[in-house]
Amino acid sequence: MPNTIIIGSGSYLPTKIIGRKDFHDSIFYTDEGEKIEKPIEEVIQKFVEITEIENRRYLEDDEFNSDLGHRAAVKAIEDAGINQEDLDYIIFASNFGDVDKNGMSNFMPSISSRLKNKLGIKNRRCVNYDMIFGCPGWVEALVLADTLIKAKKGKLILVVGAETLSRVTDAYDRNKMIFADGAGAVVVQATDQENVGIIADSTICDSGVELGYLENSPSLKLDEDRSKLYIRMHGRKIYEYALKNVPDAIKETIDKAGLDIDDIDKILIHQANAKMDYAMISRLFKLYGRTEYDHAIAPMTIQEFGNSSVATIPTMFDLIRKGEMENQKFSEKSNIVFASVGAGMNINAVVYRFP
């Protein structure tokens, strides 16, 4: 049975940097629709203390999600040194497709087919799939790529995660300060090498009471147009759910790989809130009887890039792989974990071993 290795990566960060000053004129409301009367600087400062997000990236008015995905994909293809016509599949993870500047989501045609068009691929046997799976979408797309390769359905697959959350946020919701735009991509290839690449994965889908923890809903300002929907995050419920379930899911995947926490060199975890990530990693180590750990094992980008959903992990992977994150690097034969949680509610994790 073939294994799946990453042979190229790329990412794209929009050039528009949005800092705390860009929210000084904002008016925020509570989940109950009541205006928050606290001084805006106090609201922003409290937000930064919890999330650690100082800056985030937004795309330009004339750009679309498929444009960001295209830029990341081109870099990944060039890095892999392949002919793009040899790609068997394109899997594009996204939650809102191409969103225009008015917030209208567009999935017709699919965003993966738009990417294939922008790449200029003529190969009719190159199949394009969209992966709509919440923030864990890129990790799940990687799992799908591995499944296809192991089933000998293809040998070369482009896996992209790109999102433009700045266009689906409610101007009156404090949580809009969390969200950002970006894109990341990898090219994966089948290999006959043993015990390398994706050596374990697991996915959990809780769609009961958890279904509404992340959803689309009208503006928090009750006299706004109720037909227009925005991303709504119920932070406390998500925090409690993630802290309870994500560490166990990661440990289960590490166990499935036949490894221990000491065998893991990096944990690339989805980032929506720094406080939540610290808590999840700390609880993971406690599952192994550890109260202390080197925080460098779980790199953070949220402080400067915000939460770009499906783009967060592949962007971070690309930056580390190319030596563009200070004091972070991957080594030959090292084991890393990809892990994410998000709308659905869905959780997934992958253990990847470098050749």
| 186-225 residue pLDDT tens | 999 999 999 999 999 999 999 999 999 999 999 999 999 9
Domain closes at, from 176, 191, 206: 191
Note whether 121 and 13 are same-domain residues: yes
Note whether 16 and 140 are same-domain residues: yes
Q: At 92, which CATH number?
A: 3.40.47.10
Note whether 227 and 344 are same-domain residues: yes
Q: Are strands 335-342 and 264-269 parallel, antiparallel or unpaired?
A: parallel
CB 176 within 8 A of CB 193: no
Nearest-CA neighbor of 175 among 345, 58, 42, 43?
43
pLDDT of 133 reads: 97
Domain closes at, from 139, 161, 191: 191
Instruction: Mark the ranges of the chain whose per-residue pLDDT is less than 50.
Output: none
Q: Which domain holds residue 266?
A: 197-353
Note whether 185 and 201 are same-domain residues: no
Note whether 299 and 346 are same-domain residues: yes
Note whether 164 and 251 are same-domain residues: no
Note whether 153 and 172 are same-domain residues: yes
Note whether 217 and 342 are same-domain residues: yes
pLDDT of 239 reads: 94
pLDDT of 102 reads: 87
CB 70 within 8 A of CB 115: yes
CB 65 within 8 A of CB 99: yes
Cβ-proximal residues to 202 (8 Å cutoff; 6+ apart), any chain: 249, 252, 253, 256, 348, 349
Note whether 278 and 140 are same-domain residues: no
pLDDT of 103 reads: 87
Domain closes at, from 169, 191, 213: 191
Number of folded domains that form the chain:
2
Note whether 177 and 313 are same-domain residues: no
CB 97 within 8 A of CB 65: yes
Please give the Cα distance from 310 to 63 (Å, whole number).
18
pTM listed for this prediction: 0.94
According to DSSP, the residues that pair with 231 across neighbouring strands are: 216
**DSSP-derived secondary structure for 298-353:** S---HHHH-B-GGGHHHHHHHHHHTT-STT----TT-EEEEEEEETTTEEEEEEEE
Note whether 183 and 203 are same-domain residues: no
Please give the backbone phi and psi of residue 181, each rounded to the nearest 5 degrees, phi first. Answer: -120, 155
Note whether 227 and 254 are same-domain residues: yes
